[in-house]
Amino acid sequence: MVTRTPNQQFKQLVAESGLTYAAVAKAVRAVAAECGTSLRTNKSTVEHWIAGVTPQGDTGRYLAVALSRRLGRLLTPADFGLAEPEEDDGIGLALGADPIDALLPMWRFELDRRRFLTSSAYSVAAAALPLTYVQEIADRTAAARSGETVGMAEVAAVRDMVRVFSEMDERHGGQHGRSALVQYLRDDVAPLCRGRFRTGEIRQHMLSAASRGVHLLGWKSYDAGQQGLAQRYYLQSYALAVESGIAGHDGFVMRTMAMQGLKLHRPEHCLGLAETGMNRAKGKVDAQTESLFRVVHAHTLAKAGHRTTALAEAERASALLTAAPGDEVPFWALAWGPPAASVYSRNAKVYETLGDYRTAAEQYGRAAGARPAGTYARIVALDLVAGAEMQLKRGQIEQACATWNRALDHMDGVRSVRTRKAITRMRSDLARFRTRGVRCAAELDERAIDFLANA
What is the distance between the terminal CA atoms of the chain, rounded to a whole angstrom? 52
Instruction: Quick: pLDDT tens for 210-228.
Output: 999 999 999 988 888 888 8
Q: How confident is the model at residue 124 (pLDDT cuts 50, 70, 90)?
A: low
Residue 179 near residue 185, CB atoms below 8 Å: no
Instruction: List all residues 6 or more positions away from 94 whose beta carbon is below 8 Å from its beta carbon.
Output: 102, 129, 235
Alpha-carbon separation of residue 331 from 152, 180, 208, 299 (angstroms): 14, 21, 9, 24
Q: What is the pLDDT of residues 313-325, one digit of tens each?
A: 999 999 999 887 6
Task: Give the pLDDT confidence score for residue 145 in this predicted structure.
Answer: 37
Nearest partner of 153 among 209, 107, 104, judged by Cα = 209
The Cα 401–Cα 406 span in angstroms is 9
**Which residues are CB-contacts of 9 (< 8 A; sequence separation ≥ 6)?**
79, 80, 81
- Of 64, 32, 59, the C-alpha closest to 45 is 59
How many residues does the structure list for the chain? 455
Single-letter code of the amino acid located at 293: F
What is the domain partition of the chain in residue ranges? 8-80, 360-455
For 93, which DSSP code? S
Closest CA to 387 of 421, 347, 436, 417: 347
> What's residue 90's pLDDT?
65
Q: What is the mean pLDDT of residues 326-332?
A: 87
Q: How many CB atoms lie within 10 A of CB 123?
A: 25
In the three-class reduction of DSSP (H, G, I as helix; E, B as strand; rest coil), residue 335 is classed as coil
Rounded CA separation 214/186 (Å): 10
69-122 pLDDT tens trace: 787 766 777 787 776 555 556 677 677 767 877 787 777 777 665 555 555 655
Q: Whole-prediction pTM value?
A: 0.75
Mean pLDDT of 367-387: 90
Render the burial of 297-313: b for 16+ CB within 10 Å, e for the rest. bbbbbbbeeeeeebbeb
Question: Is residue 170 classed as helix, strand or coil in its secondary structure?
Answer: helix
